[in-house]
Structure 1
Amino acid sequence: MKIEYPPEINNLRTWGLATVAAFASGMIGYDSAFVGGTLALPAFLREFGTLDKDTSSNLVSTYQAGAFFGAFAAYPTGVYLGRKWGLFAASLIFTVGSIIMTIASNNTGLGPIYGGRAIAGLAIGMASNLAPTYLSEIAPTAIRGRLIGMWEVGWQVGAIIGFWINYGVKQHQPDTSDSQWRIPYGFQLVPGALLLFGTLTMIESPRWLLTRGREEEAVRNLEKIRKLPASDPYLVDELALCRESIRAEREVVGASFWGPIRYTFGQSKLRYRMLIASSLFAFQNGTGINAINYYSPTVFRALGLTGTSTALLTTGVFGIIKGLGSVIWILWLIEQLGRRKILMGGAFGGSICMFWIAIYIAVSKVGTPGHTSGELSAGGRSALAAFYLWTLFYGSTWNGTPWCYSAEMFPTASRSVGMTIAAASNWLYNFAISKATPAAFAWSNYGFFLIFACLMVVSIPYVFFVLPETRQVPLERMDDLFATRPVWRAGEIILNDIAQSEKPSDNLPRAHPDTLERSGNNRDDGVSTPERKDEGSQKGLDVETGDARNY
């Protein structure tokens, strides 16, 4: 199905706002990449002493614990401060935490690093909730997928920088200088400052302004974001749909702070979807990604790579490949294959790679006393190639899809609460992985990879039997989608029903008549017929989507 949009909506201002919001994920990506490598730097060990597995896991997991609570703190912050000032507050808190970490020394011990990571984690949890929400609220339907994809781009750019910062300081800073470890910690201030000052240029979400009764400001902001006057039929229709959505939401949950919470937890169908969202992040961590992110030098030593510089260089390549996978996901896969095929295909390919790595380590006993050499064997090189192939599978499938799926599956009245649970689940499983990984390696280095391979295999039937396909399904039809059986055909059934429908749905507001006249092909149920035939079709923006809504 093709839907026509005015080309003005795809403008530099919209992309600029998305870039600012992506600075939030840049903070997250940088931390996930730099911390494990920094803990292995000779200068850090000289400053604070050799770290046992409990200390290293505590240093990493303190951040995830803070982020878990920050995800919940984002809900009242977003309700009362809005998206713009909520992100400003998160960036300010993150900056404070980064400064506290950087001023630690052998005189203070690890206390400032523990405290700073908890504070920075709190900010990260807030940002991981508020930034995707902001992106979804300002994005026009025509480019929504790619705009929300900027969240993943920011994450991967931050990760790549974090990996290579560690390699750079190891190469160019002496092992006896505290600059070797302070530079990676201090560099956290860069993405934090970019978000801090970037939020001052942000335009507040028009939808949030409408929920607060600030009608005139909402209209002005939407004019700025869309580069269209308020009298334009597209904006007239968008505002009408947004007002109707908010009105319907308030009829269901009311306008109170606790209304959406009571409504979401009071509905069995929504509790079920929260469970699905949480499970997706459990399986995402079950791929092994965060264990590798946070303890990458340890992972590569398990493959037989020796030397801090070698491990850091290999980790930097890992970051680049993961970023490449995310680009493939954003530009091609997410809208072409759909969510289910992406997740099952990524799990299948990734599990084969992890099984091969586990078999190699178990047979060669690499990394154990008497079985470590300075060079990789032919088997070791094949295991490293399998690891990089796994990275590509993960980066182009499980990396961003759980965030996308979670944002789509909840109705408007419960989306903020549902995303809070999804974000908190992500950080809860991050915390568990960061605590368990050092002990898992101490128990069995090949078992570490074997566990993740098995979890990926388990995720395949789970996705097939539990997750309906959300691709092209309008947000307003999610209740119908999740009620349709069989699950593996639910998306197809709903899309066929939409295509064959001849009357407006009782659940969807009618499109504004001016828009119907302008497009010439939109039925008043919000669904587009295949093609426009009028001359103005050359000026529109064609997109392959079944969602004719902006909010």
Structure 2
Amino acid sequence: MGNFSMSKTRAYNWYISLVAASCMVLYGYDASVFNAVQGSKHWVAYFDKPSLQTIGAINTAYTVGAIVAGWFMGGPIADYFGRRVGMASGALLVIIATFIQTFTPRHNLACYIVGRVVVGLGQGLALTAGPIYIGELAPSEIRGKIMSFWQMFYSVGSFIAYWVNFACSKHRAELGEWDWRMVTVFQLLMPVLILSQVFFIPETPRWYLQHGDDGTKAKRSLMKVRDTEQEVDDEILMIKEALEFEKEAISSSYSALWKDPSVRKRLLLAFVLNAGQQITGQGTLNTYSTIIYKKVFASDSTIALINALNATFAIFFTMNATWTVDRFGRKFLLIVGAIGMAVCMIIVAAVVTETPGGNTKSEPVGISVVFLLFLFAFFYKPSWGATVWIWTSEIFSMNVRAQAVGMASQTQNVANLIVQQFFPTFLNNCGFYAFYMFAGINILLAVFVWFCIPETKNVTLEEIDTLFGGQNHVERGGDIMGVMDARHANAEKFGVETVEEIREERR
């Protein structure tokens, strides 16, 4: 079966993966919606003109909820109750939070902040379980391609939020307070869709086998997404071997996060990569794009339209990852993306700081800034946007995958929280000279990837440990189990009869 053929099982694999990827729409929508409602005079009046410090506290409340869920709740829930339960519980919390925020009593900002904490908790759970689910069911040769939709769905969430906000901004007089409530309540759309489908898609075979399945449920699950029974039997054998090795030689608990040197190394690399994703400048642009554009545009309507168009183009930019990530590899995309973003930031800073006009720039300068920031998104979306998630979801061994992915992904929020606190002041004091800082950071990130990040393209999840100085869990588990051929359930089919012959073949 070639990479580009589309059998019935391959189509179903795409469907269940896109259901899981929908969790990222929750993140994309919420990351944009709070930025959007701050532009509503009705929202500002409803909560008694909150100060900049209070606005920062509302942002922090969401981030704290997401970090707590990602570090301490997402992994255990996805491991003990299943990847589907992790996604469903996250979606349910987002629904509850949406109602809390939409119908918060007037002047009661504390209630609104509680809603922000709950939506953070929900997203922390969903964003832990979603990428693990995709990574564990997608075939290795198209795993990157499918995972690229994870980041694209962030852009879909942002797209919906900004266009709903743009439509409401055109009818503020008629809508009244519903101009911001409408933007908030639309957040119900995706979690309801997720809940309506998530329990009709199969659980991952790795989760079944981790929880005592004799292979029956795991096989039933895999048969839905693999083309031949031989593929299914081989994959189940490899998962069993990896589990056996992890149980005997490492640890079946989260203690492997600090006991196993190769896992520790991966965790540190993933922390840097995920923090790096937010300090490229993208996290700041998403949160403060309105403030940035106000430096060069006078019209609020123009700025709202630019934000909406940016979210629209971001969907198409992210789709570039679907055809590049499995062709050129993760490392190539990360390096090219970082260099491209650095160049964009240098030119943006130069264009604004070296042209006359003070705070009121000419129209050509404004258009140049918009073009360059769109070009920045062109480099960011398929590389540090999509590829960081792909790499993070595929590098950890099964015994720690859920917890490690949850911790690594929430490093994004930790980094974003720090940058968000100081960037408005930095921008106010230094203007567009601040963008030179992001250019420098991107160059450092490219160097880091070149020297420290191994390529994971086309490597099976069970064998990925060898890239980080660990042992091959499949081969070592096969030795423990006394399996003749660690990769084939039907060894005779390949003319292999003894462990000695296999070892001789490998030599």
TM-score normalised to structure 2 length: 0.88
- Relative to structure 1, the CA distance from residue 221 to residue 186 in structure 2 (aligned partners, 3 Å threshold; closer, same or farther) is same
The answer for the alignment partner of 1:494 in structure 2 is: none
CA contact (8 A) 2:219 2:233 kept: no
- Relative to structure 1, the CA distance from residue 365 to residue 35 in structure 2 (aligned partners, 3 Å threshold; closer, same or farther) is farther
- Which range moves more in the overlay, 44-53 or 207-216? 44-53
Given residue 271 of structure 1, which amino acid in structure 2 is its aligned partner?
Answer: R
The answer for the alignment partner of 2:418 in structure 1 is: 432
SS of match in other structure, 1:187: helix
How far residue 470 of structure 1 moved from its aligned partner, in angstroms, is 2.4
SS of match in other structure, 2:404: helix
- From 307, 328, 342, the equivalent of 1:337 is 328
Given residue 379 of structure 2, which amino acid in structure 1 is its aligned partner?
Answer: F
- Relative to structure 1, the CA distance from residue 99 to residue 465 in structure 2 (aligned partners, 3 Å threshold; closer, same or farther) is same
How far residue 322 of structure 1 moved from its aligned partner, in angstroms, is 1.8
The answer for the alignment partner of 2:404 in structure 1 is: 418
The answer for the alignment partner of 2:360 in structure 1 is: 372
**CA displacement, residues 397-417 of structure 1 (integer Å, 9 cap, x when unaligned):** 111111112223323333333
- Which range moves more in the overlay, 408-417 or 315-324? 408-417
Question: In structure 2, what is the Cα distance between the partners aligned to 1:328 and 1:15?
Answer: 17
- Relative to structure 1, the CA distance from residue 505 to residue 109 in structure 2 (aligned partners, 3 Å threshold; closer, same or farther) is closer
**1:98-247 matches, cutoff 5 A:** 98-105=98-105, 107-174=106-173, 177-215=176-214, 216-226=216-226, 232-247=229-244
Question: In structure 2, what is the Cα distance between the partners aligned to 1:4 and 1:158?
Answer: 29
- Relative to structure 1, the CA distance from residue 80 to residue 474 in structure 2 (aligned partners, 3 Å threshold; closer, same or farther) is closer
The answer for the alignment partner of 1:276 in structure 2 is: 269
**1:244-283 matches, cutoff 5 A:** 244-255=241-252, 259=253, 261-283=254-276
The answer for the alignment partner of 1:454 in structure 2 is: 440
SS of match in other structure, 1:400: helix
- Relative to structure 1, the CA distance from residue 173 to residue 280 in structure 2 (aligned partners, 3 Å threshold; closer, same or farther) is same
Unaligned runs of 5+ in 1: 485-497, 499-503, 527-551
How far residue 82 of structure 1 moved from its aligned partner, in angstroms, is 0.8
SS of match in other structure, 1:440: helix
The answer for the alignment partner of 1:314 in structure 2 is: 306
Given residue 274 of structure 2, which amino acid in structure 1 is its aligned partner?
Answer: F
**1:45-60 matches, cutoff 5 A:** 45-60=44-59
Given residue 378 of structure 1, which amino acid in structure 2 is its aligned partner?
Answer: P
SS of match in other structure, 1:472: coil
Given residue 88 of structure 2, which amino acid in structure 1 is its aligned partner?
Answer: F
Pair 1:512-2:488 in alignment: yes
How far residue 123 of structure 1 moved from its aligned partner, in angstroms, is 0.8
The answer for the alignment partner of 1:20 in structure 2 is: 19
How far residue 137 of structure 1 moved from its aligned partner, in angstroms, is 1.5
Question: In structure 2, what is the Cα distance between the partners aligned to 1:154 and 1:54?
Answer: 31
CA contact (8 A) 2:338 2:445 kept: yes
Runs of 4 or more consecutive aligned structure 1 residues displaced over 6 Å after TM superposition:
2-7
How far residue 272 of structure 1 moved from its aligned partner, in angstroms, is 2.2
Given residue 185 of structure 2, which amino acid in structure 1 is its aligned partner?
Answer: G
Pair 1:68-2:67 in alignment: yes
**1:28-47 matches, cutoff 5 A:** 28-47=27-46
- From 336, 343, 346, the equivalent of 1:352 is 343
Q: Give the number of the structure whose residues are more often helix, by fraction.
A: 2
CA contact (8 A) 1:53 1:439 kept: no
Identity of counterpart residues, as a percentage? 25
SS of match in other structure, 2:486: coil
**CA displacement, residues 104-137 of structure 1 (integer Å, 9 cap, x when unaligned):** 25x2332222110110101101111101111111
**1:471-490 matches, cutoff 5 A:** 471-483=457-469
CA contact (8 A) 1:41 1:308 kept: no
CA contact (8 A) 1:358 1:447 kept: yes
Question: In structure 2, what is the Cα distance between the partners aligned to 1:19 and 1:270?
Answer: 29
How far residue 328 of structure 1 moved from its aligned partner, in angstroms, is 0.5
- Relative to structure 1, the CA distance from residue 273 to residue 254 in structure 2 (aligned partners, 3 Å threshold; closer, same or farther) is closer
**CA displacement, residues 431-478 of structure 1 (integer Å, 9 cap, x when unaligned):** 223333333333322133222122112212222222222223444554
Give the superposed CA RMSD: 3.1
How far residue 382 of structure 1 moved from its aligned partner, in angstroms, is 1.7
TM-score normalised to structure 1 length: 0.82
- Which range moves more in the overlay, 308-317 or 427-436? 427-436
Question: In structure 2, what is the Cα distance between the partners aligned to 1:89 and 1:4?
Answer: 34
**CA displacement, residues 195-238 of structure 1 (integer Å, 9 cap, x when unaligned):** 1222232222222111111333333333344476xxx2222222
- Which range moves more in the overlay, 93-102 or 201-210? 201-210
Pair 1:323-2:315 in alignment: yes
The answer for the alignment partner of 2:481 in structure 1 is: none
The answer for the alignment partner of 1:542 in structure 2 is: none
CA contact (8 A) 1:360 1:380 kept: no
SS of match in other structure, 1:510: coil
- Which range moves more in the overlay, 121-130 or 33-42? 33-42
CA contact (8 A) 2:151 2:381 kept: no
Unaligned runs of 5+ in 2: 479-484
CA contact (8 A) 2:334 2:387 kept: yes
